[in-house]
Structure 1
């Protein structure tokens, strides 16, 4: 299974860090572009390897995009923590709630 994501075939993103969700249904990855100074937080469905959600890593107050180094996920799967090169940690909450909502709608 290939976990490299291509956007419009001009930008290539390599996986910097990834975690498996506690239910073993999804892989969440921090992607960094080799061509641009930006990255994404993506989620893949493990069963077929398809990217089902992408969030751009936002700029900090200085206008620089953060470079994520590590990801972790809480035991209940509700929170994703990302550690950046600048020694900051962010908590992503809505990401997994959105995925749960989307999955419930698709399965109904």
Structure 2
């Protein structure tokens, strides 16, 4: 468990360092080209009332994706344990990943239809 925490902290540190450096270089380039009014484009802007995706839709999206991902894992486990499918028992089989990705994408598609139905 400690190895996972150390790995996560190291990767987050690398990510934060790279993000800071790229923001700095991009901002410097924007200013060098004379676009002073656009230099603040990289600033973090607080959410407004006219947010295109309200928080309840974000929660719905991730709930659907998590649910469908879990369902995909269950189906992948069932498929791997079926006796009539010898190619699904291999450790190199990609069918479980495909099943999980299909279920996750179905979750995103369901979210898309629900969100578009609510906007109209």
What TM-score, normalized by structure 2, do the two folds share? 0.25
Structure in which a larger fraction of residues adopt strand: 1
Greater RCO (Cα-Cα under 8 Å, separation 6 or more): 2
What TM-score, normalized by structure 1, do the two folds share? 0.27
Structure in which a larger fraction of residues adopt helix: 2
